Amino acid sequence: MGRRILVTGGGGYIGAHTVHHLVRSGVPACDIVVLDNLVNGHREFLPAGVVFVQADLNQFDCVTATIRTQEIDRVLHFAGFAYVGESMEYPGKYFQNNVSAGLVLLEAMRLGGCRRIVFSSSCSIFGMHPKIPITEEEEPHPANPYAESKLMFEKALQWYGSQHGFSAVRLRYFNAAGADYGIGPRHEPETRLIPLTIGAALTRTAPLQVFGADYPTPDGTCIRDYIHVTDLAEAHKYALLYLDRIDIGETPGFNLGTGQGTSVMQIIHWVERVSGLPVPFTIHPRRPGDPPQLVADSTRAQAALGWKIRKPLPTIVADAWAWHSGEWSRKG
């Protein structure tokens, strides 16, 4: 790409995979600047040669200086909190980190002369009862502060596009999963279904909690669209290139998923099949705010970005199993 890229939250799960993918795709490591406060990120997840700045987005002077001195041309913005339940308990934390700190970044970019950004948004902005599969035309109805914070920053990007000439690509992820490049998810606490299912298979002492078996789905459990983290990283690579093809002030949004829904019970089946181990589970009442189904229509992203899904669900589960079983061995 020949231009320097700032990656906020680049030590996190999706951010670090994207950094590795960019380097593997030919971007010189020295042209990637990762800014992460390491609250949830991991310095050791990053490839050798990238420039690392340990800082918080709220440190306006530091962020502005980084953009100027490193001659940043475009930004991949991953930094943010992402626990729905926590956002319900501490909404202020999410608006402060995901919105206010994001606005600090935008102002630092404006003053530093950088006006191209790819934003890590979320399918959660669509809320409880969207039409399936979900297109970009679906009206957002965020049902929790986390989703609301993502939508608020999307709107901020649109205003910075119209008022300050920013160009932005807003990527609405569905359920990221899997592992690659010798790294993987390492969350505390772990809330994602596939890692929790693998943990139940490995320990066999703490059954997987299945929340709701009475949804209007074929087996009664929630259905989600699982996308391999490497496919997400590939989408970010194409989004960076797409910034050169859109007009100044444009801020298009794209849904990123496979278009295939998988239920909780089907995930249990696939983990058992890949691992050869049984997955103990218990059924519990539905959790408030869990939509029965979330499945993406990614037609627009495929057409505009030239992106496509390469890794199906069996590969997602196999790669996740390889990573998490290794993590359990490391922990002893």
Both tokens assigned to 205: 């002492």
146 as an active site residue: the answer is yes
Q: In whole angstroms, give the CA distance from residue 321 to residue 319.
A: 5
Q: Which of 250, 253, 257, 249 is nearest to 223 (CA)?
A: 257
Tell me which DSSP letter residue 12 carries: S
Q: What does the alpha-carbon distance between residue 318 and residue 248 come to, in Å, rounded to a whole number?
A: 42
Do residues 252 and 173 make contact, with C-beta atoms less than 8 angstroms apart? Answer: no
Alpha-carbon dihedral sign for residues 191, 192, 195, 196: positive
Asked if 240 contacts 5 with a C-beta cutoff of 8 angstroms, the reply is yes
Query: Measuring CA to CA, which residue among 263, 267, 295 is closest to residue 279?
Result: 267
Burial of residue 116, with CB atoms counted within 10 A of its CB: 0-12 exposed, 13-18 middle, 19 or more buried: buried
| Options 13, 83, 90, 146, the catalytic residue | 146
What is d(CA 185, CA 7) in angstroms, rounded to the nearest whole number? 18
C-beta of residue 120 within 8 angstroms of C-beta of residue 77: yes
| Token representation of residue 54 | 């340990």
The CA distance from 32 to 13, in Å, is 17
Residues labelled as active-site residues: 146
